């Protein structure tokens, strides 16, 4: 049955398919300590369902196995930017929303699993289930957790999504993957905000992905310069990993790449009203940040990389009636004027 499931997964466009049990991950206690230290910031949903994350059988009664799946989003680097200051969007968000794309394949695969025995029941998740999914995927042999706390595959590098099917069907588990980081610390050195406080330790409150997506209020002033031109997520620790030499493009996401998200013009983005924001990013993960959060990020990026030409757009944003955007626009104006005064 494992062979048949894996073959069906590959037919549906998945790039990796591995199997593990529903036993609690060995990292459960470490996860609880991480929560207790408050390193999850405003991601309170992690606390609400923590009991399920440390006990997968709480997700589905009588579950026996978890199928872990990988979907590559590796692809070409963006081309040359235009003449004005541009923003940087994390690679995974330059596609149609992966939840919807991968969900279609998962629905079909879960239905196939259910057909393999009487009374079999399965549930599927794409980055939304109450699982410690990286730990389960490591135990299933799909990859190993790197020093940046993300999963690394020796076949896919860092550029892939994870998904899971938990099922009442009992399937023999695959062997766990071993860690292959060795003495490398490129990801730690690459992190702009020192969010990777030690190997395998992340303080999400300092992570640019958290600051530009999950954080709903003001970005801490002391961290804003390190954000650079990143306006949605950050790939620096992933991009630094030498295992990316094995990364390869996958079939499932390739046709869902969205044009115009590689090097967006920052000043133009700042002109988007609510309707324009919804139209520009419809069907992408970027909607998660909402307009006020996204334009907050754009203001910070302009404060870091913009010049005199960005001041009119920032001044309009500063008087636009949205306090969060206005505060960050005023900060950006101050930064640009200080550079101008210094001759920069």
H/E element holding 25?
A: none
Task: Please state, in angstroms and as integers, the Cα–Cα distance from residue 179 to each residue in 77, 146, 149, 294, following that order.
Answer: 28, 7, 12, 36
Q: How many residues does the chain have?
A: 344
Q: Please state, as a whole number, how many other Cβ atoms lie within 10 Å of the Cβ of residue 163.
A: 27
Nearest to 96 by CA among 313, 284, 296: 284
Q: Which of 15, 97, 127, 135 is catalytic?
A: 127
127 noted as active-site residue: yes
Largest CA distance in the chain: 75
Per-residue DSSP letter, 326: H
Q: Which residue has the tokens 């609690």?
A: 24
Nearest to 125 by CA among 214, 11, 49: 49
Q: Give the whole-angstrom CA distance, residue 63 versus residue 121.
A: 8
The residues annotated with a catalytic role in the active site are: 127
């Amino acid at each position: 049955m494992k062979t048949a499931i894996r073959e069906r997964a590959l037919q549906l466009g998945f790039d990796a398919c591995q199997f593990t049990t529903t036993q609690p991950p060995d990292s459960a206690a470490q996860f609880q300590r991480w929560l207790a230290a408050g390193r999850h910031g405003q991601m309170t949903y992690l606390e609400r369902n923590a009991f399920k994350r440390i006990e997968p059988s709480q997700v589905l009664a009588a579950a026996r196995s978890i199928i872990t799946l990988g979907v590559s989003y590796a692809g070409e680097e963006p081309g040359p930017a235009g003449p004005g200051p541009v923003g940087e969007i994390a690679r995974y968000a330059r596609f149609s929303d992966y939840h919807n794309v991968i969900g279609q394949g998962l629905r079909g695969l879960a239905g196939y699993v259910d057909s393999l025995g009487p009374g079999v029941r399965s549930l599927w998740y794409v980055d939304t289930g109450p699982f410690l999914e990286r730990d389960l995927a490591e135990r299933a042999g799909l990859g190993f957790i790197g020093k940046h706390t993300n999963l690394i595959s020796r076949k896919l590098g860092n550029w892939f999504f994870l998904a899971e099917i938990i099922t009442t069907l009992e399937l023999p588990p695959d062997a766990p993957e071993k860690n292959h980081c060795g003495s490398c610390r490129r990801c730690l050195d690459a992190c702009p905000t020192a969010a990777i406080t030690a190997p395998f330790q992340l303080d999400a409150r300092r992570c640019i992905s958290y600051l530009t997506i999950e954080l709903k209020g003001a970005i801490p002033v002391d961290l804003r310069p390190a954000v650079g031109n990143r306006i949605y997520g950050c790939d620096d620790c992933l991009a630094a990993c030498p295992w990316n030499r094995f990364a390869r493009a996958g079939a499932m996401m390739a046709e869902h790449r969205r044009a115009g998200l590689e090097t967006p013009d920052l000043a133009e983005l700042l002109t988007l009203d609510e309707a324009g924001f919804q139209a520009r990013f419809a069907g992408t993960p970027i909607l998660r940040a909402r307009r006020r959060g996204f334009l907050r990020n754009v203001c910070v990026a302009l404060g870091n990389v913009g010049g005199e030409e960005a001041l009119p757009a920032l001044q309009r944003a500063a008087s636009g009636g949205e306090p969060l955007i206005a505060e960050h626009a005023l900060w950006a104006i101050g930064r640009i004027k200080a550079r101008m005064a210094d001759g920069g």
